[in-house]
């Protein structure tokens, strides 16, 4: 019986933004534990590279989709179910940010673009997953948030607002879906060494300034985020819901 609750063999997970960065690392490790994975992204060339990297054969499905568009989301889930005939977990990993001016000086179009990609897209995907999971009386929804949700930072205002909305959405969905044996949780990382944040960590002076605010003395690597995601995606977390696990090396405790 040892380790049985961490067994995700033959379960099916949909990872949004799974063609690179944290999402690709999550997909790789889900596959390594015997799961089947559908990944989505907007650029076909990134998806093609991801499939080649993952080498999962029939256990990997790549789908081009923009999760802020309801029609794309509908097709995304249809294709996932058509290929695997089940869905056990959704990993909401898509995130985007554009360095923005102060809110009072922000163009509404820029606001909409960031909110749609982060918050609206998470809502649309979670809504579709919830409908499937309610029928089967089982499911896991795990969303990647950010410590930007709880700390205002220059240039990150709209992104932080979107992520704060995601954390409240997690609580609301967890409450609504608990009677259906569906757990909904969140991971809030600090800066992670991916292409998404390269502007910051590739600048040595800026990187050192950021690291000074992290008691563990480094920014996160993608695998640091994968570990808690795998836990929340497995049956080991059956009695955990509506929570946000902060993975920041202690950055928010100082």
Report, as residue numbers or ranges, the catalytic residues: 159
Instruction: For residue 239, give every residue at least 6 positions away whose Cβ sits within 8 Å of its Cβ, in sequence order, or none.
Output: none
Q: For residue 142, what are the β-bridge partners?
A: 91, 185
Round to whole Å and give the CA distance between 134 and 205: 49
Calculated CA dihedral for residues 55, 220, 157, 155, nearest 10 degrees = -100
Instruction: For residue 231, give every residue at least 6 positions away whose Cβ sits within 8 Å of its Cβ, in sequence order, or none.
Output: 6, 237
Round to whole Å and give the CA distance between 230 and 221: 15
Round to whole Å and give the CA distance between 192 and 228: 14
Three-class SS state of 187:
strand
Calculated CA dihedral for residues 169, 172, 177, 183, nearest 10 degrees = 60
């Amino acid at each position: 019986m040892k380790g049985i609750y961490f067994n995700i063999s033959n379960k099916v997970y949909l990872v949004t933004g799974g063609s690179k960065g944290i999402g690709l690392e999550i997909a790789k490790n889900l596959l390594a534990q015997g799961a089947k994975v559908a990944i989505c992204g907007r650029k076909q060339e990134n998806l093609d590279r991801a499939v080649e990297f993952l080498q999962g054969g029939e256990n990997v499905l790549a789908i081009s989709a923009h999760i802020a568009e309801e029609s794309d989301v509908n097709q995304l889930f249809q294709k996932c179910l058509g290929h695997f005939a089940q869905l056990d977990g959704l990993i909401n990993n898509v995130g985007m940010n554009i360095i923005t001016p102060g809110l009072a000086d922000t163009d509404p179009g820029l606001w909409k673009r960031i909110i749609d990609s982060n918050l609206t897209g998470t809502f649309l995907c979670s809504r579709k997953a919830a409908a499937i999971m309610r029928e089967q009386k089982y499911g896991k929804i795990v969303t990647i948030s950010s410590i930007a949700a709880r700390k205002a930072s220059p240039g990150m205002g709209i992104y932080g607002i979107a992520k704060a909305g995601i954390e409240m959405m997690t609580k609301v969905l967890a409450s609504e879906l608990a009677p259906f044996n569906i757990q909904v949780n969140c991971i809030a990382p600090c800066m992670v060494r991916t292409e998404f944040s390269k502007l910051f960590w590739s600048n040595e002076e800026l990187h050192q300034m950021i690291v000074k605010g992290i008691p563990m003395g480094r920014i996160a690597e993608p695998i640091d985020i994968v570990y808690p995601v795998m836990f929340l995606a497995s049956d080991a977390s059956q009695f955990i819901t509506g929570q946000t696990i902060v993975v920041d090396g202690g950055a928010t405790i100082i």
